[in-house]
Amino acid sequence: MFRRKLTALDYHNPSGFDCTDEIQFRNCIVWLEDQKIRHYKIEDRGNLRNIPSSDWPTAYQTYLQDVNCPFGVQEKPEALDWLLGLAVRYEYGDNVDKYKNCPPLAASSKSDRAVDPLVNLDSNSPDFKAGVTALANILKIQRHDDYLVMLKAIRILVQERLSPEAIAKANQNKEGVPVTLDKHTLGFDTGDATLNEAAQILRLLHIEELRELQTKINEAIVAVQAIIADPKTDYRLGKVGR
C-alpha cells in the first residue's frame, strides 16, 4: 500500500515492503530518518537505530512526538503513511529545481470518458483508511466507524469552509459595531456603576456567543440532513438504495 511513495523516495525494495513485519517496519523508519527526514542530528539517532532493542517502541514514540506526527505507535500504517508524506515533502524541498523541470503528464484525449473515482474505491483498504484518518485529524473532524461517512464530512468541510471564497471572507478584518450600554437593561443592580457596566458587557458578549453557537448548530443540522438525504450507491449491486 506504500509502494508509490517508497518508489518516489528511491527505497531499495518498495514492492516487497511489508508493514506488518516488525523488522522491515523498524528498518524503514530508521531509513526515512537517516536519508530523508533528518529531524535528529546524527549523534541523536542512536536509540532509533537500535532496532533489536526492547526499548525501540519508546524511542519511536518519542520520535513521532518530536516530528509532530498525529498518530501513535499503535497506529502503524497511519503513522508510516504520514512519515512517508513528510519525507516526500522534504525530498521535493531539497530538489525543487529538479522537479520543476519534470515534463507534465500528457493531457487525456477528448475521447476519454470521465471515470467515477468511487467505482473502484476500496473503502476497506488500509491505505484509504489511513488517508481519511489523517485528513480527519488535520481538520479536527471526529472519527466515525464508517470511513465513507468521514470522507463525506471532510468533503463538506472543505467545500464550505476551505474554499477560496470562504478563506478570503474569514481573513477579512471584522470591525465591531459600537454599542450604547445605556440602551441595554441589566436587570439587576450591583450597587456599583463600574460593575454594572462590566456586567452589561459580559451579558452582550454571552448573547453573541449564543448566536454563534446557534449558527454552528444550524450548519451541523444542514450537514446531517445532506448526508441522510443522499442515498449511498452500491456499485456491486448495480443499484441505488438507502
Residues 188 and 161 in one domain: no
DSSP per residue, the chain: --HHHHHHTT-S-TTT--TTSHHHHHHHHHHHIIIII--S-GGG-HHHH-TT-TTHHHHHHHHHHHTT-S--TT-HHHHHHHHHHHHHHHHHHHTHHHHHTSPPPPPPPTTSPP--TTTT--TT-HHHHHHHHHHHHHTTPPP-S-HHHHHHHHHHHHHHHSSHHHHHHHHSPPPPPP--GGGS--SS--S-HHHHHHHHHHHHHHHHHHHHHHHHHHHHHHHHHHHHHSPEEETTTTEEE-
Judge whether 241 lies within some domain. Answer: no
- Which of the listed residues 54, 85, 100 is the one where a domain comes to its end? 100
Residues 21 and 94 in one domain: yes
Residues 190 and 158 in one domain: no
Judge whether 72 lies within some domain. Answer: yes
Judge whether 115 lies within some domain. Answer: no
43: containing domain: 1-100
Q: What is the pLDDT of residue 89?
A: 86
Does the model's pTM come out above 0.75? no
Residues 13 and 96 in one domain: yes
Q: What is the pLDDT of residue 195?
A: 81
Judge whether 239 lies within some domain. Answer: no
Judge whether 237 lies within some domain. Answer: no
Q: What is the pLDDT of residue 64?
A: 93
Residues 167 and 185 in one domain: no
Residues of the chain predicted below pLDDT 70: 1, 96-121, 169-184, 186, 226-242
- Which of the listed residues 123, 146, 172 is the one where a domain comes to its end? 172
Q: What is the pLDDT of residue 124?
A: 76
**For the chain, what is the domain count?**
3
